[in-house]
A and B are shown apart, each in its own frame.
Chain A
């Protein structure tokens, strides 16, 4: 066998060995990254580990090519261009990963919290690697990309299990004692749906109407509409038409 052929075979064998070692190294690195980064969320850890793995394989391929003594310069340039293009195309993924990391470390909200972000307000149904699902007051499912949370402030309204909601009722002018009496009756009627006692905040006359403000401790905010209807119905049964603001 000619020395040149032998040399080529040796180089091919070396390149293959480098590739094999790189493959196993990348696999090991992926597992290590997954394990060590799992505290930031499994989704984030696995994505980061996957990117690290491809990076190691890419580097191994460059080394293998250099062993084969091909035109390393040209191949490296092509490789670098491809790498940059891949990075650019993965911009959104990186943005979402940054957002996921932010959500994992900062924990601005958790599942079942009532939050407001941008124009959307609702209960957090699930926090995923790419997006977060909210259920709004109207029962609609809204899917928000996690990167949205990097650009918009989050208001977390779930300070405790129940939130106090103020209801303003407008009813026709009548004797204030009668108003107070009906408010107490209606509050008693809706109490089984609340966590704690409803409170009467104020009663005042405004023009030809009476304005009543009451505060209700509510756990499930999606119940608001149903509760409003129940209050209107309770007044209607007493022959009083009310409007709720």
Chain B
């Protein structure tokens, strides 16, 4: 796959490693704006094509190569540049356009620009803290590619457990694993006691409904 990765900082480094892992023989092109980083990147990723480009020449590169590029991943240290480059990639019909955010507060702005995939590296802070601190509901994974979502729900009262069981009975495409207070994992809701958790997985809208149900029960 021909992937254009823009940026030579922290996010770009991890992006390049991930691309190499999934597609070791792929055509990886990295664009950086400083010559020192270009040299460093060439040494770190010897099989990649590392190019020095001026900031305002990158858009021309994307336009000129849009027919051959399978993906553009904007991972610079400025969300302004990421937005600019992803916008051009989208306008020129590059099939996969990814932006790695520097500031999660820009998520909605990028979404409005209809960028295919927006990666928020800081999302994990919320997920992990919610899990550690025992939040009543926690969206653990939400796929960017399809409609799948995984969430955890703390079973705080009998009513919630009952509601959850009946909701799971209704939906064939929603599956769950239950973790008891002592850490035993089971697929049977009957083995769960209060204080345990349910990890539910299924289509996003159904999971969201279940989470809303849980929130309502907790609120009451």
The residues of A with any CB-CB pair to B shorter than 8 Å are 111-112, 123, 125-126, 135, 139, 161, 191-195, 219-220, 222-223, 226
Distance between Cα atoms of A193 and B2 in the complex (Å)? 5
Given contacts A194-B1, A220-B67, A220-B70, contact A161 B96 (CB under 8 A): yes
The residues of B with any CB-CB pair to A shorter than 8 Å are 1-2, 23, 25-27, 66-71, 90-91, 93-97, 114, 116, 145
List of 8 A-B pairs having minimum Cβ-Cβ separation, nearest first: A219-B70, A192-B27, A135-B93, A195-B1, A222-B67, A123-B93, A220-B70, A220-B95
Binding site secondary structure of chain B:
loop
Residue among A112, A125, A191, A226 making CB contact with B67, cutoff 8 Å: A226
Distance between Cα atoms of A194 and B70 in the complex (Å)? 9
- Determine whether the beta carbon of B93 is less than 8 Å from that of A219: no
- Determine whether the beta carbon of B23 is less than 8 Å from that of A195: yes
- Determine whether the beta carbon of B70 is less than 8 Å from that of A195: yes
Distance between Cα atoms of A26 and B70 in the complex (Å)? 48
Closest chain B residue, CB of each to CB of A124 = B93
Q: List 13 A-B contacts (CB under 8 A).
A: A111-B90, A123-B93, A126-B114, A192-B26, A193-B2, A193-B70, A195-B1, A219-B1, A219-B70, A220-B67, A222-B93, A223-B68, A223-B70
Chain A positions within 8 Å of B91 at CB level = 125
Closest chain B residue, CB of each to CB of A113 = B95
Chain B positions within 8 Å of A226 at CB level = 67-68
Given contacts A111-B90, A219-B96, A220-B94, contact A192 B25 (CB under 8 A): yes
Binding site secondary structure of chain A:
mixed
Closest chain B residue, CB of each to CB of A219 = B70
Closest chain A residue, CB of each to CB of B70 = A219
- Determine whether the beta carbon of B71 is less than 8 Å from that of A112: no
B145, chain A: closest CB distance, angstroms:
7
Known: A111-B114, A161-B96. 18 other contacts (CB 8 A): A112-B95, A112-B116, A126-B114, A139-B67, A161-B95, A191-B25, A192-B1, A192-B26, A193-B27, A193-B68, A193-B70, A195-B1, A195-B23, A219-B70, A220-B67, A220-B70, A220-B95, A223-B67
Chain A positions within 8 Å of B69 at CB level = 220
How many A-B residue pairs have C-beta atoms within 8 angstroms? Tell me. Answer: 56
Chain B positions within 8 Å of A222 at CB level = 66-67, 93
Distance between Cα atoms of A111 and B113 in the complex (Å)? 11
B125, chain A: closest CB distance, angstroms:
28
- Determine whether the beta carbon of A161 is less than 8 Å from that of B145: yes
B86, chain A: closest CB distance, angstroms:
12
Closest chain B residue, CB of each to CB of A135 = B93
Distance between Cα atoms of A226 and B68 in the complex (Å)? 8
Chain A positions within 8 Å of B97 at CB level = 112
Closest chain A residue, CB of each to CB of B115 = A111
Residue among A112, A193, A194 making CB contact with B93, cutoff 8 Å: A112
Chain B positions within 8 Å of A112 at CB level = 90, 93, 95-97, 116
Distance between Cα atoms of A195 and B10 in the complex (Å)? 25
Distance between Cα atoms of A71 and B42 in the complex (Å)? 85
Closest chain B residue, CB of each to CB of A194 = B1
Distance between Cα atoms of A135 and B71 in the complex (Å)? 16
Distance between Cα atoms of A192 and B48 in the complex (Å)? 11
Chain B positions within 8 Å of A135 at CB level = 93
Given contacts A161-B145, A220-B70, A222-B67, contact A125 B25 (CB under 8 A): no
Chain A positions within 8 Å of B145 at CB level = 161
Distance between Cα atoms of A226 and B93 in the complex (Å)? 16
Distance between Cα atoms of A192 and B19 in the complex (Å)? 12
A116, chain B: closest CB distance, angstroms:
16
- Determine whether the beta carbon of B67 is less than 8 Å from that of A193: no
Distance between Cα atoms of A123 and B70 in the complex (Å)? 13
Which of A111, A125, A139, A192 has most chain B Cβ within 10 Å? A192
Chain B positions within 8 Å of A161 at CB level = 95-96, 145
Closest chain B residue, CB of each to CB of A125 = B93
B103, chain A: closest CB distance, angstroms:
24
B85, chain A: closest CB distance, angstroms:
16
Chain A positions within 8 Å of B70 at CB level = 193, 195, 219-220, 223
Distance between Cα atoms of A222 and B116 in the complex (Å)? 18
